[in-house]
With several copies, the nearest count.
Chain A
Amino acid sequence: MSKTDHGVGGLTYDKSKKGWPNEVNIFAALILIILIFEALGQFLPYMNDQSFLFDTNGRFDTIFNEARLKIIILQVAIIGIISLGVTQVIISGGIDLSSGPLVGAAAMIVMSFAQTELVNGNPNPKAVFGDWAFDLPVIVPVIVGLCFGAFIGAINGSLIAFTRIPPFIATLGMFLICRGIAQWWTKGQPVSFPTESFAALGSGMMPVVWFALLAVLFHLVLRYTLYGKHTYAIGSNEDAARMSGINVKRHKVLVYMIASMLAAFAAIILSSKNLTAQTGMGQFYELFAIAMAVIGGVSLTGGRGSIIGTVLGAMVFGVIQSGFTYIKLDAFYQLMAMGAIIISAVVLDQWRQQRGSSRN
């Protein structure tokens, strides 16, 4: 019954057998998938001994194939940013289906405040507003976008917190509303030709930089702040959180606002990267953002998960997508293989977890 660092006595407690953190599994799965692609590259007859990650053609100065490493992260950075928010929503016991359509709507709105006046010397053929909206400082579209995200998130959160309807329904409704907004904004016309300073936000590897910065920020927030602790507590047992005096309603509104602002920020980066905004942008992003989080170990029943896991989950998607192009898999097989890999990744993780505490 001696006072130790980790407990107040009782049973024998063997600290060395604590079991490694969940994230290690996902990392292992990631490595496994990479190895499989490397192996396929070696054995498939039509691959001419190419390597997946290494530079066999001597095109770069490093031993790695830099272009591949970059695209692996680049192509998931934007959904990854959304996934950071979705992770928080899911940990709090909710779900957000509206993030995909929100990207579409936010992109349309943002881009119409980021247009430039002259394109190749001609007047901008896609102008949404009058002259006043041309060549605005880059901060304007960014603020507009974040405010729009905050607004949608506040509605989501308030509906869920105050009327207590299931998050699935609130955000499904918002899904439809955001699609409506996206199409209504310009009656379906794409919005293009942004200013150079706006285009710089998402050009090159900038999406990856944003993703990394935001991931670190929210890792710290979830792990070390009151906001993080309350998010886990609410997801773990909402009644308990309420009875313990946490302001559950206000907290939920905050969580959904942060998630929607992250999605709106993703829309800013996405439209900047593509130099255009279209109503259909962001389709299925909500599903992939959720899938990344879940592959990363976030539990859909709430209370469990981490940003590190989600980032690794995003990497799994990046590797898979690059890998498929690398081995030149047909589109239909890609879909099937993607489905199979998502399932296997989670099965693997589940299986490892169960070994620890093997209730049946």
Chain B
Amino acid sequence: MTELGNIILETRDLTKHYGGVHALEGADFTLRKGEHVAIMGDNGAGKSTFVRQITGVEQKTRGDIIFDGKPVNFTGPLDAREAGIEAVFQTLALADHLDVPDNLFLGREKTKWNWLGPFRRLDYKSMREDTLEALQKTGVKIPNIRNTIQNMSGGQRQCVAIARTATFHSKLTIMDEPTAALGVQETAQVENIIRTLKEQGEPLILISHNMRQVFDLMDRVVVFRRGRICANLDIRNEDITGEDVVAYITGAKTQPEYEDAA
């Protein structure tokens, strides 16, 4: 697991305190190229906090992040994206008053007349076409993509956020509970998207509470408990069941390496 050059993301002693709340304590985490890892854990265990530190949405309290071989210190999500990290956040990050294509291409619009700098022209038509295609992939149904996002259902919003991430290639994809609000069919489609990423060798971090999904799709499970990592389970190769994972989540079990994570 420590073959140098083979690791896309590594965190060392990553810690985040909100005032007196210790939301994340000394997280040591590694992700190899092409690997798909699930993060599981109770509500409030610090999973999203972990993601927010990696993507530069918040500033860490202490610790190091090494991405693609280089120590990084993202000052904002813009930095992280430029470095090649794409994320679907739990809060979705959509602009309520814009329509679907606008949201899908937010921050990397297709433009014409690029010599005009910030005043360059938007290529609405092409963005609209690409949007329809991207949405097909997620299987969601949206009667009118020109409607504003605020008028979309919970699942439709989530699918737009996922389509956004899936449309653009990246060095690392992070999805924070992407299928939470999705229906049966849409969930199946999103799982297909994840499989495609696996085939293409793109690494992925998936946060999910869905045991079946994790066992179907992922290579490895990292369990968070009370702000600390308490288990690192190679579900592809070792003999691990859902009950084992639940035991780690609830605290009935802890791996020896992580004993201090009482």
Contact = CB atoms under 8 A, between A and B. Distances in A.
Q: Do chains A and B touch in the complex (CB under 8 A)?
A: yes
Given A3-B132, A12-B143, A13-B21, A304 B107 contact: no
A245 B121 contact: no
A286 to B, nearest CB: 24
Nearest to A17: B20
Nearest to B81: A245
B143 A9 contact: yes
A237 B19 contact: no
**At the interface, is chain B mostly helix, strand, loop or mixed?**
loop
B106 A12 contact: no
Interface string A1-35: 10100111111111111110000000000000000
A335 B81 CA distance: 44
B12 interface: no
Interface residues of A, number: 47
Contacts of A244: 77, 81, 93, 95, 106-107, 164
A254 interface: yes
Interface stretch (A53-61, A117-125, A225-233, A269-277): A225-233
A3 B136 contact: yes
Given A245-B77, A245-B78, A227 B119 contact: yes
Nearest to B131: A8
Interface string B4-30: 000000000000011111110100000
B188 interface: no
Interface in B61-111: 75-78, 81-82, 87, 89, 91-98, 102, 106-109, 111
Interface string B100-134: 00100011110100001011111000000000100
B237 interface: no
Contact of A246 (B58, B107, B122): B107
Contact of A18 (B20, B121, B136, B151): B20
A227 B111 CA distance: 11
A227 B120 CA distance: 8
B44 interface: yes
A304 to B, nearest CB: 5
24 contacts: A1-B141, A3-B132, A3-B136, A7-B142, A8-B135, A8-B142, A9-B141, A10-B42, A10-B226, A12-B227, A13-B21, A14-B21, A225-B118, A226-B109, A229-B122, A233-B98, A233-B106, A237-B94, A242-B76, A242-B77, A244-B107, A245-B78, A245-B107, A358-B59
